Amino acid sequence: MKFKEKLESGKFLITAELFPPKGVDVSAFLRRAQSLKDLDAVNVTDNQRASMRAGSLAMCKLLLERGIEPVLQLTCRDKNRIALQSELLSANILGIENVLILSGDHTDAGEYKGTKTVYDLDTVQLIKTARLLETGFDLAGKKLSGAPKFCVGAVVNPSATPDELQALMLEKKVKAGAEFFQTQTVFDAARYKNFYDKVKHTNAVILPGVTLIKSPKFMSFLQSLPGVYIPQEVQDRINGAADPLAEGIKICAQTIKELRSFARGVHIMAIGMEEFIPEIIRASCVL
């Protein structure tokens, strides 16, 4: 069953994400991917945090060849409307249907400060553009020779305040044609539930993001990212643990377990520690 069909199946969905390599050695990427072969889909990021890496499209194709259903992440930051539409068509030609549309972290927050950003289209416009291409026409009104078919996803940040504004954006993206959502990382399932209650009337399939905290240093890094909220209790557990990675796995699994009671799935961000994802999933079922 394809990811698009699974969205309607009622199954608790589990996705994760991988970063493309910074370079041309794909061995670590493929090794990590092997740990994720039983998941419902695997995202590949698009120059995340405004860093420069290999392209999402090439890495998605490698996943597809290995029987893993990919989700192409596509940001509005680096490409104009010509390049974005072209990328969507290219993805479809290669057999990639799932796309996750994001605005993309601003370059001033990344390793290429001062780089000219594009943002020719915003996320709502790009979601609608993907839907337009499916009708056989492009943004210039020209007819396509063969229309693509997508499963379009989008993102929201449940931890951003005011969260009502994020809830409104979710609704707006649903109206634009988003079929599923993956969110910024959630460490507090109860807090996420408050957000979820604001948007459940949309019937959107939302996979809240969960992140594996592997060390106190990594936790500090996470806290420096825009819109990441880590409750004090989680901070204390990581800082006080003899084995922070084991504690991080436990916290991640507990969060997923709590989310299982009302969420439609989860999106796991292990950030280089994907080999532990199967263990996290197993633990979330038995805790």
Partner 1 sequence: MIITKKKPNEEILESLSGAHTVFVAGCGSCALKCANSDEKSVALMKEFLEQNGKKVLQAFTVESACDMRLVKRDLLKNENFKNADAVLALSCGAGVQAIETVCAKEVIPALNSSYVGTTERIGVYKKFCSVCGSCVLALTGGICPKTRCAKGLVNGPCGGFVNGKCEIDADKDCAWVLIYEKLKKNGALDKFVNQYLKPA
Q: Residues interacting with partner 1, by CB under 8 A?
A: 76-77, 81, 102-103, 105-106, 108-109, 117, 119-125, 128, 139, 155-157, 160-162, 164-166, 168-169, 171-172, 175-176, 184, 226-227
Least distance (Å) from partner 1 to the CB of residue 172? 5
Q: Closer to partner 1 at the Cβ: 184 or 284?
A: 184
Those residues whose C-beta lies under 8 Å from the C-beta of residue 241, and which sit 6 or more positions away, are 247
Q: How far is the CB of 44 from partner 1 (least distance, A)?
A: 19
DSSP string, 29-87: HHHHHHTTTTSSEEEE-SSGGG---S-HHHHHHHHHHTT--EEEEEESSS--HHHHHHH
H or E element that contains 129: helix 123-134
Q: Kindly state the smallest distance separating residue 190's Cβ from partner 1, in Å.
A: 20
Among 250, 248, 251, 254, which Cα is nearest to 272's?
A: 248
- For 42-60, b/e burial (b = at least 16 CB within 10 A) is bbbbbbbbbeebbebbebb
CB 66 within 8 A of CB 39: no
Min dist CB 21 to partner 1, Å, is 25
> With respect to partner 1, which residue has the nearer C-beta, 171 or 279?
171
* Cβ closest to partner 1, residue 8 vs residue 112: 112
Nearer residue to partner 1 within complex by CB, 75 or 255:
75
Q: Whose Cβ is closer to partner 1: residue 104's or residue 265's?
A: 104
CB of 39 to partner 1, least distance (A): 23
In the complex, least distance from residue 213 CB atom to partner 1, rounded to whole angstroms: 19
3-state secondary structure of 111: coil
- Alpha carbons within 13 angstroms on the beta-carbon side of residue 148 total 25
| Closest CB to partner 1 among residues 202, 235 | 202
